[in-house]
């Protein structure tokens, strides 16, 4: 419990999607258009159930046909009034910082100040060849573009010069913000990204998709120490991890495992992932793994532990995986909102 001089920490909880191709009840895969429309309905449902954040991650593949998440979030914004809307990741390295700012400042206006953006280097790199970028420039693209985005966020006319795009001189960037636009830097393990987030006073979002969450502890500590040395106050640390909630542990495993295996198997052909065994999967859903799969009690306990170990204040569950039927996804969302999150809050309070 906090002392008399400490303020209790405020925790927030969200849902992330990459627009995964879900399926009908009979197992027939949805089309890309069906999956995009389903994401809108999931965002609306999350708002109705009291979830605080709904986020869409940029991807450009057949499994994840979600290249324009901000457009989808605009549709969600038009049908909601409370939930915060953001990117689970925007691949800044293969985008233009000015256009990213303009899209999310527009979303911020449409939603009445409920937008936020997470900027990343791109652990999924399909956007680089798609838009004509060389992976050999992976680091310089992110470093320079994040620097430019930070300049735009100051709200003044921008003068900037770099090597990855034409310079700007005293350039006004519109639309101006009339409400804060929180900026997060998504990190999958790169310490340089942690340092850049701290340098600009941006929030940190740890994408934990394999292994023990505790191994990200040094990155969380590095971020906190860097903020202190740079003279910034405390900034929030958020967690992004995949999972699936069902009524029982066995049911959650039965629904999630075959879809997880299929997705990782397909991704292994492009990204060199090892194909997981059932034993490896069970280790990942255990107390020290990165997957949050199980009953509401099981998932809540694991989320509470992760937030505590990493001194984080936000958790976002990547709730969709592979060809899971849409009714299973909606049940996942409902259980997460109405049973998991209240349990986590109670565990953290005590």
What per-residue confidence (pLDDT) applies to 131?
Answer: 94
Question: Residue 187 has what pLDDT?
Answer: 97
Under 8 Å between Cβ of 314 and 12: yes
Sequence ranges of the domains in the chain? 12-183+195-349
Return the biggest CA–CA distance within the chain.
Answer: 60
Beta strands in the chain (DSSP E): 12-17, 53-57, 84-91, 115-120, 158-160, 168-171, 183-187, 203-207, 237-245, 292-294, 314-318
How much is the pTM? 0.95
- What are the distances in angstroms from CA 24 to CA 34, 35, 231, 325, 344? 10, 11, 52, 5, 31
3-state DSSP assignment of residue 63: coil
DSSP per-residue string spanning 173-187 = -SSPPSS---EEEEE
pLDDT at residue 1, rounded to an integer: 43
Task: Give pLDDT, residue 27.
Answer: 84
Predicted confidence at residue 9, as pLDDT, reads 80
Q: How far apart are CA 200 and CA 198, in angstroms?
A: 5
In words, the CATH class of domain 12-183+195-349 is alpha beta
The DSSP annotation for 262-290 comes to HHHHHHHHHH-PPPPPHHHHHHHTSTTSS
Q: How far is CA 336 from CA 45, 52, 105, 216, 344, in A?
A: 12, 12, 29, 24, 10
Q: Which residues contact 106 (CB under 8 A, 6 or more apart)?
A: 70, 74, 175
DSSP 287-337: TTSS-EEE-HHHHHHHHHHHHHHTT--EEEEE---TT-BHHHHHHHHHHII
β-pair type (237-245, 292-294):
parallel
- pLDDT digit string (tens) for the chain, length 350 residues: 444 444 568 999 999 999 999 888 888 899 999 999 999 999 999 999 999 999 999 999 988 999 999 999 999 999 999 999 999 999 999 999 999 999 999 999 999 999 999 999 987 889 999 999 999 999 999 999 999 999 999 999 999 999 999 999 999 999 999 999 999 999 999 999 999 999 999 999 999 999 999 999 999 999 999 999 999 999 999 999 999 999 999 999 999 999 999 999 988 777 777 889 999 999 999 999 999 999 999 999 999 999 999 999 999 999 999 899 999 999 999 999 999 999 999 999 98
pLDDT recorded at residue 7:
57
pLDDT of residue 2: 44
Query: How far is Cα 197 from Cα 149, in angstroms, rounded to an integer?
Result: 12
In this prediction, residue 8 carries a pLDDT of 67
Q: Is 320 exposed, middle or buried (0-12, 13-18, 19+ CB in 10 A)?
A: buried
């Amino acid at each position: 419990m906090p002392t008399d001089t400490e303020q209790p920490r405020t925790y927030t909880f969200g849902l992330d999607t990459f627009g995964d191709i879900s399926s009908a009840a009979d197992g027939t895969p949805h089309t890309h258009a069906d999956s995009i429309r389903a994401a809108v309905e999931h965002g609306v449902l999350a708002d109705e159930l009291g979830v605080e954040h709904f986020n869409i991650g940029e991807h450009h593949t057949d499994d994840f046909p979600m290249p324009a998440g901000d457009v989808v979030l605009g549709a969600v914004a038009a049908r909601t009034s409370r939930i915060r809307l953001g990117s689970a990741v925007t691949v800044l390295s293969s985008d233009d910082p000015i256009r990213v700012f303009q899209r999310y400042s527009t979303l911020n206006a449409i939603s009445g100040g409920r937008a936020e953006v997470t900027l990343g280097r791109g652990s999924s790199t399909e956007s680089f060849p798609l838009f004509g970028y060389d992976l050999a420039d992976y680091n310089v693209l992110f470093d320079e573009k994040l620097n430019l985005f930070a300049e735009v966020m100051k709200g003044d006319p921008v003068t900037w010069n770099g090597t990855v795009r034409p310079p700007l001189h005293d350039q006004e960037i519109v639309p101006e913000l009339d409400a804060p636009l929180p900026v997060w830097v998504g990190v999958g393990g790169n310490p340089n990204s942690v340092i850049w987030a701290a340098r600009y006073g941006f929030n940190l979002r740890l994408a934990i998709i394999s292994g023990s969450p505790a191994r990200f502890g040094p990155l969380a500590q590095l971020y906190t120490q860097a903020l202190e040395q740079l003279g910034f106050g405390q900034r929030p640390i958020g967690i992004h991890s995949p999972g699936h909630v069902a009524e029982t542990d066995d049911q959650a495993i039965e629904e999630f495992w075959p879809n997880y295996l299929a997705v990782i198997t397909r991704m292994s052909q492009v990204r060199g992932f090892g194909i997981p065994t059932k034993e490896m999967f069970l280790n990942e859903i255990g107390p020290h793994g990165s997957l949050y799969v199980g009953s509401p009690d099981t998932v809540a306990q694991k989320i509470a532990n992760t937030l505590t170990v990493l001194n984080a204040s936000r958790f976002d569950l990547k709730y969709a995986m592979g060809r899971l039927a849409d009714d299973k996804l909606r049940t996942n969302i409902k259980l997460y909102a109405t049973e998991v999150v209240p349990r986590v809050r109670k565990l953290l309070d005590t």
